[in-house]
Structure 1
Amino acid sequence: MTQRNFVLHPIGTVRSARSEPIDDGWDAVPARIELDPDQFAPEALFGLDSFSHAEIVFLFDQVPDEKIERGARHPRGNKDWPLIGIFAQRGKNRPNRIGVTVCRVLKVDGLSLHLEGLDAIDGTPVLDIKPVMEGFAPRGETAEPAWAQELMRGYWV
Structure 2
Amino acid sequence: MTQIPRSALLLGLAGLIPFVWGAMTTLNTDLQLWGVHALGPRFVGPYIQLFYGSVILSFMSGVLWGFATKTTGPVATTGYALSVLPALWAFFMTGGGPVSAGMALMAGFIGLLGIDWLFWKQELAPPWWMHLRVLLTAIVVICLSVGVFL
Shorter-chain TM-score bucket reads: under 0.3
Q: TM-score, normalised by structure 1?
A: 0.27
Q: TM-score, normalised by structure 2?
A: 0.28
Write 1 or 2 for the structure with the bigger share of strand: 1
